[in-house]
Structure 1
Amino acid sequence: MAMLWKFMRVAKYSKTALLPKVKVRGIPTHLRHSSSKSVPSEFAASTPCSNTVELLGKAYAQDDYSNVTEKILSKVGKNLHNKKHHPLWLIKEQIKDHFYKQYVGRRGNPLFSVYDGLSPVVTVQQNFDSLLIPQNHASRSKEDNYYLNRGHMLRAHTSAHQWDLIHSGLDAFLAVGDVYRRDTIDNTHYPVFHQMEGVRLFSCHELFSNIKDGEGLQLFEQGHRTAHKQECHTMEAVRLVEFNLKQVLTKLMTHIFGNAGARDKIGWAFGLGLERLAMILYDIPDIRLFWSEDERFLKQFVVPHIWQKIKFQPLSKYPPLINDISFWLPSETYSKNDFYELARTIGGDLIEKVVLVDEFTHPKTKKVSHCYRIIYRHPEKTLTQDEVHRIHQAIEESAVRELGVEGRF
């Protein structure tokens, strides 16, 4: 159990939160049941002209905030979490199966509904404002997100759908989908990953009904924010919700591995990265493999039932080719994520890892130099020196042209 909680703490994309107080409306028909309708991959992104992007059948005008690349746009609509027998689909189905069987209503129906076909294109209001994220918060930065324009973006988390689903009247739901973040490059990070969002709300009666002398307990108060609770929540409610969430996640992880609020309601929310779970459960060593179309990878997950034990058999480990690149930075506005994005755009999945190995400040000019080590390795074949040289040269030329660096090549 100690190892279970260690995993839950260190998983980078896992999170828990108490939901703020909001108003509930009626449940629209299209949200009453589980949604498994996926965004069709044939609507892959295209750029009909330089100042618009067409994505999923809609056109978005580009502006000074637009930073999404064609490489990233090509991933939209792949819906790996809905492809039968894909490892991410297996993880999603296992979690659904657990929640359907473990949590049922008074009439025996599943308590949680599932939404795994919601569009990854959301408004900035959905992704940030609806979650009460301040305007100046670092998480809104262009360095960390993919913006279509100032008003629209590729969701950075499935939490972008919380407000809409809660305000439709839902008290318990799971939202699954692909999410997008600019990030470092290594075997556990990828700009597109898949997240499972869980939300559960409780009325005062539901939360305190089994507590002795609980009739006088309240969900909300006009108190003060502390390290343990928001100012509107009572401490008794927070402790019970925290305990409930801990039970839910413990049962889920034990089952898999084997051993924003509402009127008059309070609740919890969690988010789990499906790739991280799959990499641990199936012993998959490289996150790039989830995007592989190699039958040697995919056929290992074609099993008769979702709970069958699978031990991933690695493909042949092809040798890496390593090249360094050094340059003087143009100004303080330079971002490492900009270089990572440029390298990923040009090298794609041929780049296994990029590491900043040296940072040097000239004693006289005070100019700063970075040296990055780029590890090239194809997950399915051996790369040649000529192939890597062409890619590396293209990265050098693009860094000078696009980022304004001064090469030390």
Structure 2
Amino acid sequence: MLRPVCRRTAMAAAPLAANVRTGCCRNVRALCSARHPPTNTGSPPPIASYLPYLSSPRRFLSTPAATLQDSASPHHPPSPPKPDLKALPNKFTILGRPYTRHAHTNVTPTIISKTDRRLHLQPNHPINILKRRIESHFPSFTPIDSLDPVVTTQQNFDSLLFPPDHIGRAATDTYYVNANQVLRTHTSAHQAEVLRRREDEAFLLTADVYRRDEIDVSHYPVFHQMEGVRTFSRSELEREVMQDPVMKDSGSSSSSSSSSIQGAVLSPTNPIQPAHTRTDALLVDLHLRTSLESMVRSLFREDPDLQIRWIEAYFPFTSPSWEMEVLYRGQWLELLGCGVIQQSILDSSNNADRVGWAFGLGLERIAMVMFDIPDIRLFWSRDERFLNQFKAGDIVKFQPFSKFPVCYKDISFWCPDGFHDNDFADIVRDVAGDMAEDVKLIDKFQHPKTKKTSRCFRINYRSMDRTCTNEEVDQIQDQVRRLAEEKLGVELR
């Protein structure tokens, strides 16, 4: 899926989870080491309160799915398992395949433990329900959903024309298995290999993807993307485009260009590729945006007057490129990124005789809105009180079942050179797991003489299925403090 250069938005795949920095600086250094008793804030607020988060763009396969027998009892949910705080061994496995720890390795045991969940393959799960609904709208597209999450840096970056200095390559953004392999950060990592097969002129590729990120109710280090690709014969382009049922249903004609499309138009900053004629580019663009508007109107079918607009975008692997937004509950919500595939990508994948388009979207972001799910951690719950609310084919509104209190703890420390907030987030995830609701930077201070930088983070702990005790959270916080000192080299205050 797509990860833009300028906005750190994953092209079609990632623009669906908000990239929100919620920390604000306050003079709380004197309180940073204090322990705070649990504070009952009641049940999580409704999804409407999170729309401002979701409306902001984010920087965006074959294992047995978990069964309900693995889930917690609705009456006696288990305590979360104690985290394995051992360092990743020199030899480790991901989905049964062996790997050797390397100086570049930054993937953690917690993240590896997520690779076999494959929520998009679990029947009756909201992610699977949404996946199937989109697939049903594109019956001629071949579904692909079981590709290995470990890919090469060539697949994840080079094949998609990511420049060497792109932020997505940084170890602070990406989970490296070793120097040459990563956990895919977008489904587009598989685009070239699928195109090279020349088996399908159109396909939908769904997968779990991995990114190092902050901790809050709309971000998770693992999420799910869907990518769609449609290619056409260059010699038969107009016939294939205009005879497609989606074009006939919309009443579009080649002479109308994109007259029915509201929003951004072609421009010098969103140009046609030199390898394409203007006519060819307009035909592909018209088919792309007509197809995606039809799909989105089908998803939001309860709103027959849904407003859609197109925003000019930039992705390394498409040009021209667009982002689609819809007006939902009074706010513009970005749904996906898309564009005309760079011809050099098609040429290098044995498709020089074809042109095409691609889109990508994040399933969690849309599912949070459609199912009214207020916290992204809920998708990973094994609690039957969550799982039993959903049924294949139905879009129902989530009914909150917990009113457990939040317990917050602060930690402050002097940062070593090279410190990154995402490194600390991984420490918190390894220790607290999904008990960590969010981590906020609440203060940042530079010493006027030493020039050393101090950060103060507030960690909000809240279980989704039980009440946490202050003593339990104290133990977790002590582990966070110890590991931050040992692994990150911070100086606790």
Alpha-carbon spacing, 1:41–1:125, altered in 2? closer, same or farther (3 Å): farther
Alignment of 1:137-176 (within 5 A): 137-169=166-198, 170-176=200-206
Where structure 2 has 5 or more consecutive residues not aligned to the other structure, the ranges are 1-6, 14-60, 67-83, 243-253, 258-267, 304-344
Counterpart contact for 2:65–2:122, Cα < 8 Å: no
Alpha-carbon spacing, 1:284–1:13, altered in 2? closer, same or farther (3 Å): farther
Runs of 4 or more, structure 1, over 4 Å off, are: 10-14, 46-49
Q: Secondary structure at the residue paired with 1:230? A: coil
Whichever residue aligns with residue 192 of structure 1, its letter is V
Whichever residue aligns with residue 39 of structure 1, its letter is T
Structure-1-length-normalised TM-score: 0.81
Q: What is the match of residue 295 of structure 1? A: 384
Structure-2-length-normalised TM-score: 0.68
- The size of the alignment, in residue pairs, is 352
Q: What is the match of residue 76 of structure 1? A: 115
| Distance in 2 of aligned mates of 1:12 and 1:384 | 38
Alpha-carbon spacing, 1:11–1:404, altered in 2? closer, same or farther (3 Å): closer
Alignment of 1:19-34 (within 5 A): none
Q: What is the match of residue 63 of structure 1? A: 102
Cα deviation, 1:348-404, whole Å, max 9, x if unaligned, reads 100000111111111111111111111111111111100111111111111111111
Name which of 234, 241, 244 aligns with 2:284. Answer: 241
Quote the offset at 1:202 in angstroms: 1.7
Quote the offset at 1:317 in angstroms: 2.4
Alpha-carbon spacing, 1:187–1:12, altered in 2? closer, same or farther (3 Å): farther
Does residue 286 of structure 1 match 2:375? Answer: yes
Whichever residue aligns with residue 323 of structure 1, its letter is K
Alignment of 1:151-300 (within 5 A): 151-169=180-198, 170-209=200-239, 210=242, 211=254, 227-258=270-301, 259=303, 260-261=345-346, 262-300=351-389
Q: What is the match of residue 142 of structure 2? A: 113
Higher RCO (C-alpha 8 Å, min separation 6): 2
Does residue 133 of structure 1 match 2:219? Answer: no
Does residue 320 of structure 1 match 2:406? Answer: yes
Q: What is the match of residue 397 of structure 2? A: 311
Q: What is the match of residue 126 of structure 2? A: 87
RMSD: 2.4
Quote the offset at 1:206 in angstroms: 4.1
Counterpart contact for 1:172–1:199, Cα < 8 Å: yes
Counterpart contact for 2:122–2:128, Cα < 8 Å: yes
Quote the offset at 1:132 in angstroms: 1.6
| Distance in 2 of aligned mates of 1:74 and 1:118 | 17
Q: Secondary structure at the residue paired with 1:237? A: helix
Q: What is the match of residue 12 of structure 2? A: 15
Cα deviation, 1:66-109, whole Å, max 9, x if unaligned, reads 11110000111111111111111101111111111xxxxxxxxx
Whichever residue aligns with residue 287 of structure 2, its letter is N
| Distance in 1 of aligned mates of 2:483 and 2:467 | 25
Cα deviation, 1:280-302, whole Å, max 9, x if unaligned, reads 1100000000110111000000x
Q: What is the match of residue 22 of structure 1? A: none
Alpha-carbon spacing, 1:268–1:281, altered in 2? closer, same or farther (3 Å): same
Q: What is the match of residue 247 of structure 2? A: none
Quote the offset at 1:59 in angstroms: 1.0
Q: Secondary structure at the residue paired with 1:300? A: coil
Counterpart contact for 1:242–1:268, Cα < 8 Å: yes
More helix by percentage: 1
Identity, in percent, stands at 46
Q: What is the match of residue 397 of structure 1? A: 482
Q: What is the match of residue 20 of structure 1? A: none
Where structure 1 has 5 or more consecutive residues not aligned to the other structure, the ranges are 1-9, 17-36, 101-109, 215-224
Counterpart contact for 2:105–2:179, Cα < 8 Å: yes
Counterpart contact for 1:324–1:372, Cα < 8 Å: yes
Whichever residue aligns with residue 225 of structure 2, its letter is Q
Q: What is the match of residue 105 of structure 1? A: none
Quote the offset at 1:240 in angstroms: 2.5
